[in-house]
Structure 1
């Protein structure tokens, strides 16, 4: 009997968005290293009314079906802010993206990618980057190395076959993103300890905790440093107020004063570092559902969080200091203080730093200096349409 025909169709209904979210739960059911997202969060990501990113972006979701069964999915999207960026920094005029990609086999994958490309062409795009799911600030890149352990919070997972399927569609790697693993129970090398001790004696330097009771004020300080420090980075798109609001709502429950630090020089904020307990360790057993008791488990954990792993998703030093010795000193001080707090107050033994761009030599040098090792690699692919 011939297999049922494959159909690819655009979707926009609530029921289809639910089917879109449900597919990975079947495809990754036997993968011990996949972390099921909370379904409510996953639906919010693809619902324009619930994701501030849509204030400057448009998207089309596609489902692949065979015999009435969902066998693949993909999103195609255009970030209007990304269109205004310098092409040498990754995006630029005519650059669309696709992401949230999953498929049962190579034939389905090819049809999905072709559908996303067709939509992007219809919108006037001449180049495609992917996978980016869906903002560069969410889960960019395809996992190509490090399948043997689960991702940390806000990092992606994928099947090993996907790389070949994407390359078969005519794509090539344009950028590699790295995450680094660190045993945070070990002391830093003596040279770094001396650098940190020297900074502690400098009356111009102050490393302080954030104050969660002043969440919006502290977030504004960090955002100002971030936008300056990251402005020249490949793929950088400034966060907008609606996105900042959404991120605040999502992350505020796992923001702890001693895991986010701001460095001040002569009383002026010049650097920051954010460390997050790995919520994936908590939500993985919930299988995507807060009901009936998942919400209670998370609330109990939040009262006194304990994790094996903490993740540093963001850190930055003002651009004016980045070529100075002071920048490294501040970075080492921030890492040391947060490392100590992670071990002492949250029971963590492992840290993950990243993602870091493959050509960000400053951050890679810091990672090497504290004796990190690369544990995962993610690729972003590119194709001319």
Structure 2
């Protein structure tokens, strides 16, 4: 007999985190999330998201066997910013069974409806500031750091349940030696022109990491203010994320654009830590996972260009292209093999065009879905 329960016990909570490991056990492209990271992310009091919002986790069973999971997310900050009544779903995984998928969605939808929501959107794992989107094109390899992965059958299941496209997200790939060297060389001329307006590019100063982060946070919240569903991070949320990223940060891949000391744009690429995580069984660092992490960190040969933003008033000046160019040059100097730029909005030509001009190839797409409650 199939049923869905609201997660209430520690055992159910741990099973919620671990279910994908069993579902994807035979999938060579699956990358397990670190258990301790998922535990902290989903635990009130550990992640600052819970200071303003709430979630409810659900598990689907077929008899005694877990066959699916979903999280219902009430992001109150989102609804304040957009004056909306949007609910979200995330952490969605299921066997290829329409009944199970429907039961999971209905459970999340019912919980959100009781909170007064009139639309459900997702998948997002809590918001667009974290992992979000359903992979719909490009199932031929493992995901890069902090990007989602799912079975191809997820989209047909959710379509049958009544979800529709809200927007598609893009991921571009650069391969060493294939990007446009001509475009990168043009960046020198653009930077010279920017310097005449007292705009210079530099790498992050890790000795002043806290001060740099405070300035970057302001740019981040301004630069992304018109993006799909973007909600400004609270100070604590930004600090939480920055602290995590600092552990793998390479300053050569964190580029800042500033005018007379004022930061007006920045770009961040991170090592593709998934090259290591894919080898850590069930996301456990102990007893051997930590050793793998430490020994293989320097062997990572790919990056993900995670963030790039320029504040209003400084766009269309060539800053975006220069930020990408600086990262590509560092990429080349360190003999990296590939880079992924992700994600960008499907219709954001201001960002997509510079990526394509330098030689980025669109190779994966993700989708945010929506459904009226």
When normalised by structure 2's length, the TM-score is 0.94
Structure 2: distance between partners of 1:246 and 1:191? 36
Say what the alpha-carbon RMSD is for the aligned residues.
1.6
Q: Please point out which of 291, 313, 332 is paired with 1:343.
A: 332
Matched, 1:366 2:354: yes
SS of corresponding position for 1:235: coil
In structure 2, the partner of 1:82 is 78
The one-character-per-residue Cα deviations of 1:298-330 (angstroms, maximum 9, x if unpaired) are 23444xx232310011111111112x3x2x2x2
User: Following TM superposition, by how much is the alpha carbon of 1:186 offset from its aligned partner in structure 2, in angstroms?
Assistant: 4.2
The one-character-per-residue Cα deviations of 1:183-229 (angstroms, maximum 9, x if unpaired) are 24346353552343341473523211111222111111211111111
In structure 2, the partner of 1:353 is 341
In structure 1, the partner of 2:304 is 311
User: Following TM superposition, by how much is the alpha carbon of 1:248 offset from its aligned partner in structure 2, in angstroms?
Assistant: 2.3
Structure 2: distance between partners of 1:225 and 1:338? 19
Structure 1: distance between partners of 2:227 and 2:242? 23
SS of corresponding position for 1:140: coil
Structure 1's consecutive aligned runs of 4 or more residues displaced over 4 angstroms after TM superposition are: none
Structure 2: distance between partners of 1:68 and 1:134? 28
Structure 1: distance between partners of 2:100 and 2:349? 38
Structure 1: distance between partners of 2:37 and 2:100? 26
User: Following TM superposition, by how much is the alpha carbon of 1:153 offset from its aligned partner in structure 2, in angstroms?
Assistant: 0.6
Change (3 A) 1:332 1:283: same
Does the 8 Å contact 1:79/1:96 carry over to 2? yes
Q: Please point out which of 199, 203, 212 is paired with 1:218.
A: 212
Structure 2: distance between partners of 1:306 and 1:65? 41
Q: Please point out which of 239, 256, 268 is paired with 1:274.
A: 268
Matched, 1:175 2:173: no
Structure 2: distance between partners of 1:274 and 1:297? 25
Q: Please point out which of 284, 295, 298 is paired with 2:290.
A: 295
Q: How many residues align?
A: 369
Does the 8 Å contact 2:137/2:365 carry over to 1? yes
SS of corresponding position for 1:134: coil
SS of corresponding position for 2:278: helix
SS of corresponding position for 1:298: helix
SS of corresponding position for 1:81: helix
Does the 8 Å contact 2:73/2:87 carry over to 1? yes
Matched, 1:72 2:68: yes
Q: Please point out which of 23, 27, 42 is paired with 2:23.
A: 27
In structure 1, the partner of 2:321 is 332
Does the 8 Å contact 1:306/1:348 carry over to 2? no
Q: Please point out which of 13, 27, 49 is paired with 2:9.
A: 13
Matched, 1:148 2:105: no
SS of corresponding position for 1:48: coil
